[in-house]
Structure 1
């Protein structure tokens, strides 16, 4: 018997966009079981059809996407992909939806016929398939529970190695995980951190601002030629690879490129990790969090090859156990940890000694 694809509900107040998205998904082997014109219809459709995934518009009449996400996650937890317009307002609401349990975000495909459409269609189908696999409900609870435990168990006085650099890669389900992880890293460790989160252009700047509000570290979206030292975090901008181009005396410099996608994504974790392994001669830690695909596996191998420490998120706390699984299968991962223990794992690998 032929295996059927996931069942989806498409919610958008535009009849045109509902049709475009439904056609794209159907051609990609996804069974669109219902369409919804607003959030209330989306909530009802989820109750009636029990889909595997929902694509949710942000701005809709009667009930917007944010409230719909809230109700769905409270009554019938279902993996939700936010489809957002390329605006600051939509970006802000989209992150609120991620806080409420939505899994990921995708920029709405445009209606015009262009050379980009086939690529965007493939990306949308791949994203919906990935989000449909996400484990929702348990994830939020375990993250919240573990968050408190790590804070209380962290040693108060440690001596760390000089100039450690941490490279974090994540995709589907990653934004909340990255925020939690960075919120648990103490400034005393003097880390320099590079984050590659698969996210559309226009969202990574706001993502960096959100992290900056939740951590002791100074966080910003990377610009071409940016230099950072200890206590700084750079987030790769959507649509550009972030390459470590230079390193000296504890300060590293990055360059941004629009070279072709690697592993079908740009920014690619592999590009950042592998370039860091080439030029950084101080301690390196590579971390692979939840996400689809195999991006990061080659980067982890590169970090391990120069004596760095490598960590992957475990299956139980990963929304999608794709990237961590592939990295683990490569044999180059030192530690497999739940999200709530990864900060401690990073610190342990950078610890010189514990003072009593």
Structure 2
């Protein structure tokens, strides 16, 4: 496995392999001496597993780490834990613990490693557990968000009494960002929340279960036919675009695995936003958070052309990768830019 992965980088002009390690213990020592920019590490390793090794690495010699994980229940849960402890990203192994067909993920791994090399290490450190997250709601006029971008005419007509839907899109760094946002939403939230997180099948279920344990609102992996309810969040399953359909006076989830991936992503934020733009009997709060690429920017243009939409982008201060929010801001359609810890408050202000 180490030989296979090392060989992947022979063709890359940007990546040089400076060393390999037999296990987590070996890795900790070699990172201290070799001081690499990026480390790839398996979740499952002998002597010291990937989670334990990652914890020690982030304490002793913080570095950008990209995990490799198998799509078992234990593998997916461990991967989410790794994200929480400071791993930048992960790649799912195509066929279990010993995947001799790793060439299938070569391009993805190379891309993620090149991206990880540019990540600020300070943003990867695990946030302190004991910080208070309950903060008073401050009226929007007092500029609780970091930047207030001038409102569009449509947002000036924002009516808090009408039906609302919250749409969230994110990618690299998303699991931690979602934990920061979703866990601060109150259980009486006056809107359903639809979430697209770029992740392969299997991992989105573990993400939903984990967020559900930590949150006041109900969080689940979306299923075909789920009726959208206020105070509930629905995460698009890996491999499916997330759409909705009107059923009488309610809306339900439609999962789509027929439309091809957009820019390599299924689910894609653009599809979620574009699909929602077809319905005008509710207002939308669209949130774009940390992630590589520009998914969501095209869909945001569609959303803004139809009905009342407030757009919130995560600030460069807190993004692990300032790609998706940057592309959204560059459309000049974003109404609020906020650090991740202020996004939930900003959403709530528009709902209450």
TM-score > 0.5, shorter chain as reference: yes
> 1:109 and 1:19 mapped to 2: Cα distance?
17
Alignment of 1:286-325 (within 5 A): 286-306=286-306, 307-325=308-326
The Cα offsets for residues 203-259 of structure 1, whole Å up to 9 and x where unpaired, read as: 110100001111111111112232212111111111221122336535343223242
Q: Of the candidates 78, 81, 84, which is equivalent to residue 93 of structure 1? A: 78
> 2:160 and 2:273 mapped to 1: Cα distance?
22
Q: Is the 8 A contact 1:313 1:339 kept in 2?
A: yes
Q: Name the residue aligned to 1:9.
A: none
User: Which TM-score applies when normalising by structure 1?
Assistant: 0.85
Inter-CA distance 228–215: structure 2 relative to 1 (3 Å threshold) = same
> 2:298 and 2:247 mapped to 1: Cα distance?
21
Q: What's the CA shift for 1:315?
A: 0.5
Q: What's the CA shift for 1:171?
A: 0.6
Q: Name the residue aligned to 2:5.
A: 21
Q: What's the CA shift for 1:328?
A: 0.7
Q: Of the candidates 74, 84, 89, which is equivalent to residue 104 of structure 1? A: 89
Confirm whether residue 132 of structure 1 aligns to residue 117 of structure 2: yes
> 2:320 and 2:123 mapped to 1: Cα distance?
9
> 1:321 and 1:134 mapped to 2: Cα distance?
9
Unaligned 5+ segments in structure 1 are 1-16, 352-356
Inter-CA distance 70–146: structure 2 relative to 1 (3 Å threshold) = closer
Aligned residue pairs, count: 328
Q: Is the 8 A contact 1:73 1:137 kept in 2?
A: no
Q: Is the 8 A contact 2:24 2:45 kept in 1?
A: yes
Q: What's the CA shift for 1:36?
A: 1.2
Q: Name the residue aligned to 1:274.
A: 274
> 2:174 and 2:131 mapped to 1: Cα distance?
15
> 2:53 and 2:327 mapped to 1: Cα distance?
34
Return the structure number with greater helix share. 1
Q: Name the residue aligned to 1:235.
A: 235
> 1:337 and 1:186 mapped to 2: Cα distance?
19
Q: What's the CA shift for 1:155?
A: 6.4
Q: What's the CA shift for 1:147?
A: 6.4
Return the structure number with greater strand share. 1
Unaligned 5+ segments in structure 2 are 140-158
> 2:7 and 2:296 mapped to 1: Cα distance?
32
Which 4+ residue blocks in structure 1 deviate beyond 6 angstroms?
none
